[in-house]
Amino acid sequence: MPTTPWPYALPDEATPPHDADRLLLWLVRRQWRTIVGGAAFGIPWMLSIALVPAAIGKAIDDGLVARDGRALVLWSAVILGMGLVSAATTNLRHWFAVRNWLFAAFRSAIVTERAVRRAGPALTREKPAGEVLTAFANDFWKVGNVFDVSARFAGAIASFVVVSVILLSGSVLLGLVMLVGGPLLLASLAFVMRPLQKRQEAQRTESGELTALGADTVTGLRVLRGVGGEETFLSRYAGQSGRVRAAGVRLSGVQALLDASQVLLPGVFVVVVTGLGAHLAVAGDISPGQLVAFYGYTAFLTMPLRTATEFVNKLITSRVMARRLVSILAAEPDHPVHNSPIPSLCTGAPDRTRGIGELRTGELVDPESGVRIVPGELTAIVSARPEESAAIAARLGRTVPGRHGVTWAGVVLDDVPIEDVRRTIVVSQADPHLFSGPVRRELGALDQPDDDALLAALHTADAMDAVESIDGGLDGELEERGRSLSGGQRQRLALVRALLRDPEVLVLVEPTSAVDAHTEARIAERIPKHRSGSTTVVVTASPLLLDRADRVLLVEDGQVTTIGTHRDLVHGSPAYRRVVLREVEEE
C-alpha cells in the first residue's frame, strides 16, 4: 500500500544554502505559515496580559473613586475576559511554538542526512565521524530553539509598543523613557552576546572533538587492547574531557552574566519607571488609577524584556549550531558528477535517453580509465595500486538523481525510479559494514519466501561456519559491527548479502582479502557458477579469483593497458606478473 508523504517533509530537490544565517532564513521560508500562526496567538496572549493594568486603572478611577458600581462590574468583567483570552491563547501559542521548533529541527536533520548520504566516505575524511554524530545527536534540536521562542518574541514586540503608546498618552516623560530605555537596555546586551557566541563555538568544538575521540576508540577498541594502548587512550580522553570542562566553565560565566542581566536590567528599568510614576502622582499629574496602571505596566515589562533577551540568546545558539550543519552540507563527494567523467552505457549515442532494459544489455564503460565491462561475463580488474581499481569500482556503481529522472552511467533513464537502478547495480566495498540485528534481516533475507537462495549464497561465500558461530544461527542476532566475528567471517557474510541482492551488475572489491587460501579457492570456484549469466566485476589481485574470470583488465596509472585471460597474461605480460605473482618472482 503506497504511503502518503508527510506534508511537512522537504522535496528531494530542496537545496539548502551553505551559510548559517541564510540556512535559518531558508527554514523560515519553508514554515512561514506555522511561524505566522504562532505570532497570531502569541501577540493576543501577551497583549491580554499587558492590558490588564489599564483595565485595573479604569476600574479604580471609574468605579471605586467615582463610586460607580456598574463601571466597576464592567471593568471587572473586562479583566475576567482578558484572563480567559490569555488562557486560550497560551495553549495555542505553545502548540505552534513546539511545531515550529520540531519542524526546524526535523528539516535540518533531513537536509543534513541527505548531505551525508551524498558525500559518503568523503565526509568522514574531511571531518571526524564524532563531529557528524554530535550534529545528529545535539545540533538539530538547538537549531530549532530560536523558532520555539519566535511566537513569544512577536508578542513581546507588540505588547512593548502598545504599552509605550499607552504610557506616552498618559505621560510624555514615561512614554519616552519606555520607547528609548527599552531598546537601549537590549542594546547593552551586545557586550555579553559577542563573547557568549565565541565561547559557545569553542565549547561546541571541544565537545565534538571529544565525541570523535570516543567514536574512534570504540571502533578500534580491539586493536587498542591488542597493543596495550588503553592507558594512552585514557590519558588522551581525560585531557580532552578536561578541555571540554574548561570550555564549559568559561561559557558558564558569560551565560550566568546574561541570565543575571535578564533579571537585573528589567528590574532596574521597572524601578526607574515606577519612581517616575510615583513622582507624577504626588505632583497630581496622573490619577491614582493611572499610578496603579503604570506600576502594573512596569511589572509587566519584565516579561517582554526577558523574552527579547531570551530570543537573542537562542538566536546566537541556533546560529552556532547552523554553522556546524552547513559545514556538513557543503561536503562534496570524492567524485562529483559535474567535475569528473562517469561511466556510460555504450549501446548508441551517449547522450540519448534510455530505459532500464539497457542497463541489462549495454556494455558498461568507465571513460576515465577505459574499463569496459561486457554483459554476462565475470570481469576482473587488477592494479598495482588498489586505490585505483577501487575508485573505478566506485565510479561504475555511481547513481545520481537527475532533473529528468535518473542519471546513471552518464545517461538519463526515462521514468525509472532510482531504487530500481540501485537494485540493478550493486557495489560491495572492501571494508563492508555489518550492523546489529537479526541475522536474516542484516543479510537481506527477510523478503525471501524460503531459505533456498540464502543457503545458496552461504554456500557460495563458504560462510556457514560464520553463521554457526552466532548464537541461534540464522535466527540469532548479530552484535554491533559484527564484532564477535573474525574479519574473514564478516567479509564472507557481506559477500552473502551482496549475492542475495542478485543484481544485474555486481561489483566486488577485494571480496576474499581476509580469508585463508583454502576458503578463497572454494569461493573463487563457486562465484562464477552462482553468477552465471549475470554481469560480475571483481577488483582483486588474487590469482585464484583471476583464474576464474572470463577477462582480466590490467590498470596502470589509472588506465587499462592490457586485456586477456589470467593464463594468457601470466605468460605474456611482465607487468601483470609483477602485480599478481610478485611473491613468486621475488623468490
Of 296 and 565, more confident: 565
pLDDT band at residue 425, thresholds of 50, 70 and 90? Answer: confident
pLDDT, position 526: 95
The domain boundary, picked from 290, 305, 329, lies at: 329
pLDDT, position 60: 82
Alpha-carbon 229 to chain mean position: 32
pLDDT, position 3: 44
Query: Which among 383, 404, 405 is positioned nearest to 393, based on CA atoms?
Result: 383
Cβ atoms of 81 and 89 within 8 Å: the answer is: no
The domain boundary, picked from 301, 329, 357, lies at: 329
Residues 284 and 376 occupy one common structural domain: no
C-alpha cell at 533: 549469466
SS (H, E, C) 82-119: HHHHHHHHHHHHHHHHHHHHHHHHHHHHHHHHHHHHHH
What is the C-alpha separation between 167 and 104, in angstroms, rounded?
38
Q: Name beta bridge partners: 537.
A: 379, 507
Residues 260 and 370 occupy one common structural domain: no
User: pLDDT per residue over 203-212, tens digit each?
Assistant: 767 776 676 6
Of 443 and 433, more confident: 443
Beta strands in 222-287 (DSSP E): none
User: pLDDT per residue over 176-202, tens digit each?
Assistant: 776 777 677 766 766 666 677 677 777
User: pLDDT per residue over 466-493, tens digit each?
Assistant: 888 888 888 888 776 666 677 788 888 8
CATH code of the domain containing 411: 3.40.50.300
User: pLDDT per residue over 99-154, tens digit each?
Assistant: 988 888 888 888 888 888 777 766 766 666 666 766 776 777 788 888 988 999 99
SS (H, E, C) 515-549: CCHHHHHHHHHHHHHHCCCCEEEEECCCHHHHCCC
Whole-model pTM: value is 0.50
pLDDT band at residue 336, thresholds of 50, 70 and 90? Answer: very low
Tell me the C-alpha to C-alpha distance, in Å, between residue 303 and each of 47, 167, 176, 267: 11, 17, 19, 11
In a domain, 510, yes or no: yes
The domain boundary, picked from 273, 306, 329, lies at: 329
In a domain, 271, yes or no: yes
Residues 350 and 312 occupy one common structural domain: no
